[in-house]
Amino acid sequence: MTLQGVPVSAAVALPHGGLGDGPAFLVATDIAKSYGGVAALKGVSLSLRPGEVHGLVGANGAGKSTLIRILAGLVQPDRGRIVVDDAPVVIASPHRASDLGMNFIHQELAFVPGMTVLQNIMLGLPKTSRFGMIDWKAIAREVEPIARRVGLSAPLLASVKGLSTAEKWLINICRALVRKARLIVMDEPTASLSASESEKLFGIVEDLSRSGVAVLYVSHRLDEIERLCHRVTAFRDGRSVATLERHAVTRATLVEAIVGGAVERLAKSAETLGRNEVVLTVRGLTRLPRVVDVDLDLHRGEVLGIGGLVGAGRTELVRLIYGADRTDRGTMVLAGDAFAPRHPSAAVRAGLGLVPEERRSEGLVLGKSVAFNLHLSSLSRIVHSSALPLISRRRRQPLSQQVIADLAIKTESAETPVGRLSGGNQQKVVIGRWLLRAPKVLILDEPTRGVDVGARGEIHRLIRDLAARGMAVLVISSEPDELPDLCDRVLVMAEGRIVRELQGDALSRSAIIEASYAGPATAEGTQP
């Protein structure tokens, strides 16, 4: 086996793993896990040595998060073996994982806003007491050297309210060291950090490694993986496919392992949608640091995809277009008119609709009926009159029934609370809301997240049908498999910029993944 010319001696095939020199602290072998009959892990293996920074890479959905949840004791594997210090273990709970010396720092950082820095560091740990009271000053004296070691400047007895993301990361690292962690798992640690903050974190990771603490470093940013990691394991489609030793870790070998085979360089298709009018034009749209100088054109009847990795700036871009966030600079034109919404309501009035990523918390009122949710954006159609703005059930009922029938929403009635519906049917309700409004542009952020395979196909057909009716549709998806079949074109974002446009024969799963990992400095192609 070779990866871009790297021999098998450097790229160690799994599942047997390549421990190389030195004993392993942890070895996970042939771990599998299914949810509702769908395999999230089909057989992954991983080994970690004391003092090793071990990179874990893979496309979205490759199984990285599932393995972390298993190691953290949050879920149990269906099969496989985990060995710590040469002894088989069952990690039945997070408490057991902590006892084994493992600590986990997730993207959603764990802290309690109403507590002090010190209280957050000591969460879940036994505390020194005096006369039956917790002696926070004594605890602070013990924790202070650890705080200095990681460069935490916030006073230990101060509130965590208002602290930066970087400082919260340091609090979580302090918590791990107070627990005498032998392994710290870091999930996308630099996703919300500035360049200078990231540099500080890199120094801490290197210091931890020198002191014998193992770090499992999960990141989509391959330049960080190349810089920090002694070894790297790649997951693909629920399997571990290779472990690379440090001398073999290059961007090319990592991308090839993640994608599966060499990335074919295809010429961009000359075919365009230029015959259709441009409905939305975006030029130089910027909100630092997450969105930088984005240009795009969206045509009538087009399904335009926005691809890229988590943290690439896709949702932040949509929030700027929709008026949920203010721009630093840039211009937009909607249907020939200057467009600069200061609030989502202004965007809706101008002809935009949005299906948000978090449909349950941002797109639906779960305790209210299907009919209520369908009409949230078009109440003027179902009131008695402008002089008497009360809801007319007589007007609401036939409109609701029509949308339910058109979208095949499975519900007992229009008055059923939407919270009782399946995820796929809830998503149809959010989309159906905009059918009643008939926007010029419909934006869908992760439209099939959390829905089953059948509902996914129905939602895809619905999106294509909306485009066939002349609606301009913008789709964000973290799943590179979803975009090629659904979209006419795909713009790939990395680090806040559009780094490549793909269409025609150039539009494929592997091309999207390769462009996502290439980043703005090295991706071929220009903005559209």
Q: Is residue 15 reached through a cis peptide bond, with omega within 30 degrees of 0 on the bond before it?
A: yes
In the Cβ-directed half-sphere of 375, how many Cα atoms lie within 13 Å?
Answer: 23
Mean predicted lDDT score pLDDT of the chain: 83
More confident residue, 408 or 83: 83
What number is the average pLDDT over the span 253-257?
86
Distances (CA, A) of 418 to 87, 402, 405, 459: 49, 17, 16, 17
Per-residue tokens: 514: 């390769």
In whole angstroms, give the CA distance from residue 36 to residue 309.
26
- Give domain status of residue 169, yes or no: no
Average the pLDDT over 51-76 and give the result: 90
- Structural domain contains residue 219: yes
Residue 484 lies in a domain: yes
* pLDDT value, residue 420: 84
Task: Answer whether residue 521 is part of any domain.
Answer: yes
Q: Of 386, 419, 437, which residue sits at a domain end?
A: 437
287 & 224 share domain: no
Burial of residue 367 (number of CB atoms within 10 Å: 0-12, 13-18, 19+): exposed
Same domain, 194 and 98: yes
Looking at residue 363, the DSSP 8-state letter turns out to be: I
Residue 346: pLDDT band (50, 70, 90) is very high
This prediction has a pTM of: 0.62
Q: DSSP secondary-structure letter at 440?
A: S
Confirm whether 86 is domain-assigned. Answer: yes
Domain with 488, as residue range(s), is 279-351+439-528
**What region does 9 belong to: left with phi over 0, alpha with psi -120 to 50, or beta?**
alpha
pLDDT at 40: 87
Q: Place 456 in a pLDDT band, splitting at 50, 70 and 90.
A: confident
Please indicate, yes or no, whether residues 230 and 322 belong to a single structural domain of this protein: no
Mean local confidence (pLDDT), 44-62: 90
Flag whether 114 is in a domain.
no
pLDDT at position 268, please? 32
Say if residue 78 is in the same domain as residue 187. Answer: yes
Lowest mean pLDDT, pick from 230-234, 285-289, 368-372: 368-372
Question: Domain total for the chain?
Answer: 3
Number of H helices, E strands in the chain: 16, 23
Question: Could you tell me if 80 and 197 lie in one domain?
Answer: yes
Instruction: Please compute the mean of the pLDDT values over residues 19-29 and round it to a whole number.
Output: 76
Same domain, 516 and 450: yes
* 312-341 pLDDT, tens digit each: 899 999 999 999 999 999 999 999 999 999
> With 0-12 CB in 10 A as exposed, 13-18 as middle and 19+ as buried, what is 329?
exposed
Query: pLDDT value at position 15?
Result: 30
- Rounded Cα distance, 489 and 527, in Å: 13
Predicted local confidence at residue 334, as pLDDT? 96
Do residue 449 and residue 410 come from a single domain? no
Domain assignment present for residue 513? The answer is yes
Spatial CA neighbour of 55 closest among 276, 301, 232, 266: 232
Res 243 pLDDT > 90:
yes
Boundary (domain end) residue, out of 398, 418, 437: 437
- pLDDT, one tens digit per residue, over 474-526 is 999 887 878 998 999 999 999 899 999 999 889 998 899 889 887 665 444 44
- The answer to whether residue 23 is domain-embedded is yes
Give CA 337 to chain center in angstroms. Answer: 34
Tell me the pairing of strands 329-334 and 129-130. Answer: unpaired
44 to 14, 64, 85, 86, 369: CA distances (angstroms):
8, 10, 19, 19, 44
Task: Indicate if 287 and 254 belong to the same structural domain.
Answer: no
Cα distances from 290 to residues 142, 219, 496, in angstroms, run 38, 17, 5
Residues 6+ apart with CB under 8 A from 430: 355, 356, 359, 363, 364, 373
In this structure, are 223 and 337 located in the same domain?
no
Residue 362 DSSP label: I
Cis peptide before 289 (omega within 30 of 0): yes
Rounded distance, CA 388 to CA 62, Å? 54
User: Any idea which residue has 């969206």 for tokens?
Assistant: 298
List pLDDT tens digits, range 185-202. 998 888 777 777 888 899
Mean pLDDT of 163-175: 87
| pLDDT greater at residue 421 or residue 233 | 233
Looking at the structure, do residues 218 and 238 belong to the same domain, yes or no?
yes
What whole-number distance in Å separates Cα of residue 225 and Cα of residue 221? 7
Domain match, 93 and 232 both: yes
Domain boundary among 409, 437, 465: 437
pLDDT at 519: 67
Q: Report the pLDDT averaged over residues 404-414.
A: 85
416 and 433 fall within a common domain: yes
CATH number of the domain to which 311 belongs:
3.40.50.300
